[in-house]
């Protein structure tokens, strides 16, 4: 199915020159596209990399062709030429990250950019190890991961093993962080978000976990803030709590000096997230993707697309500049079609991944 994208082979220097011209001399953009997104294959014996695309327009032809192919089952599908016109030169519509890399590629890789995983009500050691394994399996297929640590019992709690008491959340933060750093993804590293409720007894240890250089280097960390905590922590509160105010100031100080932790206004997220309208059916939001853009339920994923809004500006950089709302409205519908087609393309990749796992020669 994908063989047609592997027919043309290009020399690396040839690609570098053509792509540098494409990006008007931008060396960073050139190296990012060549190293991260250009279609390639690697010889498992020699490690030699073969490249099959000369410029990003070749990538966009691949993306357009696959978007058209998978959309043929629907009556409103656009032609392959129209899909290419929408994607060409990043002018209007774009696939982001994992879809750009994986669509049309023979390898069984994820087209989802990010997942949220984990078990909200389970904190056994076996569960913690299972989440670590799930994280690694997702990351090695190019996905970022987020999970929440609020369910892990706090430091000093009794446990049913020879240790007798729990070590708390911070050692497990290191575990997940190290797994992220260990998983190489075709030249890029894994991406991880760890979150915790401000009400967790180990919240302060979590907040301070990255103060010392070298700690938890493989993860972003964010604190899930509740309305009740904030209402007592801010300086103008009607019902101030000195301990909550102290912790709030610590978060601000750490974020100012070390850029972390981030803050997730969790009650607002729960009120405004579509998934939480169906929390009685098991879709309650659990954590966010690694950069915190999208809250997700356990085992949800996100597949990212984007508009280049500059493409909709008429007469740019002139006094007559204006946004073409009619075109944006029309192309927004095409974007939704593209995103729907991306789900179908992802399902094909899931089947590839399952087939690879089932054919694995290693013993159980």
Please tell me the predicted confidence (pLDDT) of residue 237: 72
Residue 163 covered by a domain: yes
Residue 364 covered by a domain: no
Do both 153 and 267 map to the same domain?
yes
Q: Which of 276, 301, 326 is a domain's end point?
A: 301
Q: Which of 301, 320, 344 is a domain's end point?
A: 301
Do both 162 and 212 map to the same domain?
yes
CATH number of the structural domain spanning residue 173: 3.20.70.20
Do both 75 and 26 map to the same domain?
yes
Residue 363 covered by a domain: no
Q: Which of 285, 301, 317 is a domain's end point?
A: 301
This prediction's pTM: 0.86
Please tell me the predicted confidence (pLDDT) of residue 69: 96
Mean pLDDT, range 276-282, rounded to an integer: 83
Residue 350 covered by a domain: yes
Do both 228 and 319 map to the same domain?
no
Residue 82 covered by a domain: yes
Quick: pLDDT tens for 50-92. 999 999 999 999 999 999 999 998 888 999 999 999 999 999 9
Do both 218 and 265 map to the same domain?
yes
Mean pLDDT, range 10-33, rounded to an integer: 96
End-to-end, the C-alpha distance of the chain in Å comes to 31
Q: What percent of the chain has pLDDT over 70?
A: 97
Residue 159: pLDDT above 80? Answer: no
Do both 136 and 28 map to the same domain?
no
Cα R_g (the chain), whole angstroms:
23
Mean pLDDT, range 112-118, rounded to an integer: 92
Looking at the DSSP bridge assignments, the partners of residue 42 are: 49
Considering its fold, how many domains does the chain have in total?
2
Quick: pLDDT tens for 126-153. 899 999 999 998 998 888 999 999 999 8
Quick: pLDDT tens for 167-203. 889 999 999 999 998 886 555 567 999 999 999 999 9
Do both 52 and 183 map to the same domain?
no
Q: Which domain holds residue 264?
A: 114-301
Q: How does residue 260 score in pLDDT terms, banded at 50, 70 and 90? A: very high
Do both 266 and 282 map to the same domain?
yes
Residue 97 covered by a domain: yes
Residue pair 148/120 in contact (Cβ under 8 Å)? The answer is yes
Residue 66 covered by a domain: yes
Determine the Cα–Cα distance for residues 220 and 234; give it in Å rounded to an integer.
25
Encode the chain in three state secondary structure: CCHHHHCCCECHHHHHHHHHHHCCCCHHHHHHHHHHHCCEEECCCCCCEEECCCCHHHHHHHHHHHHHHHHCCCCCCCCHHHHHHHHHHHCCEEECCHHHHHCCCCCCCCCCCEEECCCCCCCCHHHHHHHHHHHHHHHCCCCEEEEECCCCCCCCCECCCCCCECCCCHHHHHHHHHHHHHCEECCEECCEEEEEECCCCCHHHHHHCCCCCCCCCCCEEEEEECHHHHHHHCCCCCCCCHHHHHHHHHHHHHHHHHCCCEEEEHHHHHHHCHHHHHHHHCCCCCEECCCCCCEECCCEEECCEEECHHHHEECCCCCCCEECHHHHHHHHHHHHHHHHHHHHHHHHHHHHHHHHHHCCCCCC
Do both 178 and 259 map to the same domain?
yes
Do both 128 and 104 map to the same domain?
no
Do both 72 and 174 map to the same domain?
no
β pairing state of 300-302 and 114-116:
antiparallel
Do both 220 and 317 map to the same domain?
no
């Amino acid at each position: 199915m994908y063989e047609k994208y592997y027919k043309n082979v290009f020399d690396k220097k040839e690609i570098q020159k053509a792509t540098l011209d494409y990006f008007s001399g931008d060396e960073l953009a050139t190296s990012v596209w060549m190293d991260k997104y250009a279609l390639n294959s690697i010889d498992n014996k020699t490690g030699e990399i073969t490249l099959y695309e000369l410029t990003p327009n070749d990538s966009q032809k691949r993306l357009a062709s696959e978007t058209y192919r998978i959309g043929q089952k629907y009556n409103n599908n656009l032609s392959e030429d129209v899909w290419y016109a929408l994607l060409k030169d990043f002018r209007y519509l774009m696939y982001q990250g994992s879809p750009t890399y994986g669509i049309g590629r023979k390898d069984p890789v994820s087209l989802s950019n990010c997942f949220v995983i984990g078990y909200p009500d389970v904190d056994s050691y076996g569960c913690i190890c299972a989440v670590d394994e799930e994280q690694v399996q997702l990351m090695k297929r190019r996905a970022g991961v987020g999970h929440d640590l609020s369910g892990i019992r706090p430091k000093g709690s009794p446990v049913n093993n020879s240790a007798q008491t729990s070590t708390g959340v911070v050692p497990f933060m290191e575990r997940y962080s190290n797994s992220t750093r260990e998983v190489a993804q075709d030249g890029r590293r894994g991406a991880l978000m760890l979150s915790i409720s401000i009400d967790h007894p180990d919240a302060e240890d979590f907040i301070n976990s990255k103060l010392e250089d070298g700690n938890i280097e493989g993860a972003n960390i964010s604190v899930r803030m509740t309305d009740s905590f904030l209402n007592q922590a801010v300086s103008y509160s009607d019902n101030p709590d000195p301990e909550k105010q102290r912790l709030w100031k610590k978060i601000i100080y750490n974020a100012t000096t070390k850029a972390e932790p981030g803050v997730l206004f969790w009650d607002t997220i729960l009120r405004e997230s579509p998934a939480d309208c169906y929390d009685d059916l098991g879709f309650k939001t659990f954590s966010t993707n690694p950069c915190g853009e999208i809250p997700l339920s356990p085992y949800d994923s996100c597949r990212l697309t984007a508009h280049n809004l500059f493409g909709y500006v008429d007469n740019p950089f002139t006094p007559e500049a204006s946004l073409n709302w009619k075109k944006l409205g029309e192309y927004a519908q095409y974007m939704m079609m593209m995103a729907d087609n991306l789900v179908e393309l992802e399902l094909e990749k899931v089947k590839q991944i399952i087939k690879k796992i089932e054919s694995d020669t290693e013993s159980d």
